A = this chain, B = another copy of it.
Amino acid sequence: MHYQRILEEIAAEVRPLIGQGRVAEYIPPLAAVPHDRFGMVVRTVDGQLFAIGDAHERFSIQSIAKVFALTLAMKLDGDDIWLRVGREPSGSAFNSLVQLEIERGIPRNPFINAGALVVLDAILSHGDELLLPFIREAAGDDSIGYDVVVAEAERETGHRNRAMAHFLKSFGNLHNDADRVLDAYFRLCSIAMSCAELATAFSFLATGGGSIATPRQAKRVNAVMLTCGVYDEAGDYAYRVGLPAKSGVGGGVVAVMPDKFTAAVWSPGLSEKGNSLAGTMALELLTTKTAISIF
């Protein structure tokens, strides 16, 4: 497969979309990101890395980090984590309190905000600073860290997440202090990584887990990504892209083709549903051009 040539074709074809969509503006550090960025990486399971555009520039990975949190919680708590969080697609906005109320405090899945809070709460019960070392290990890169400016901005505007944490507490589904969990959450969302770093850090999901997870865990994280990874657009992603994927409001998306490759793409302009506009198109083109998808 000529991945480099395919990436070049993709970059040419998505160009009209770059700068389109809306950039996340709820915190100044995200609003300040230049709208015209585009980078993409394909990393094969044998370790070859193909890159184009701003593939090595770090950006705020935001919700993509929730995949690391879920994987760590599954290692620490096994299947018990599913007693406190579901794994069904949410069918509504990713930070809705409605669903949480109807379902009595059990978030629909670990990738909506309420679910990530519960996952972080579970991890915090095992120790104070377990997540960042785990992410660094997956990425094989100790320079990865929190972006203090982003974390502080999230904290200042995070009234809805704060509401969510107290709401979970009211249902008894938050064991640690709400403020401690919120702190961990705001920091998690602030992590900065590049497409190249993300494609590498996610490679355990294409290789049956490696040193990071068991084959069973890797398969299951992929399954949860496919049904719940891209907010309320899971069906459309499966239909158009056909790969498990996780997106973030920073404009990043990571996709996994088991036994073949991981792909990471970044472009800050978002669709109405909150997924990178050019990034989604780029992944759709990738599975069309390679004729490789899970279906």
Contacts and interface: CB of A to CB of B under 8 A. Distances in A.
B222 A227 contact: no
Contacts of A178: 159
A97 interface: yes
14 contacts: A89-B89, A89-B227, A90-B91, A97-B163, A97-B167, A159-B166, A159-B167, A163-B165, A218-B295, A223-B239, A223-B295, A226-B226, A226-B295, A227-B239
Contact of A160 (B90, B92, B166, B233): B166
Given A166-B163, A235-B228, A295 B258 contact: yes
Q: Which 10 A-B pairs have the closest CB atoms?
A: A91-B91, A159-B170, A163-B167, A163-B166, A88-B235, A222-B295, A160-B170, A223-B238, A162-B166, A89-B89
Interface in A258-274: 258
A102 B109 contact: no
Interface string A83-109: 000111111100011110110000011
A169 interface: yes
Given A87-B236, A88-B236, A89-B91, A159 B163 contact: no
A232 interface: yes
A95 to B, nearest CB: 9
A293 B170 CA distance: 39
Interface in A210-230: 218-220, 222-224, 226-228
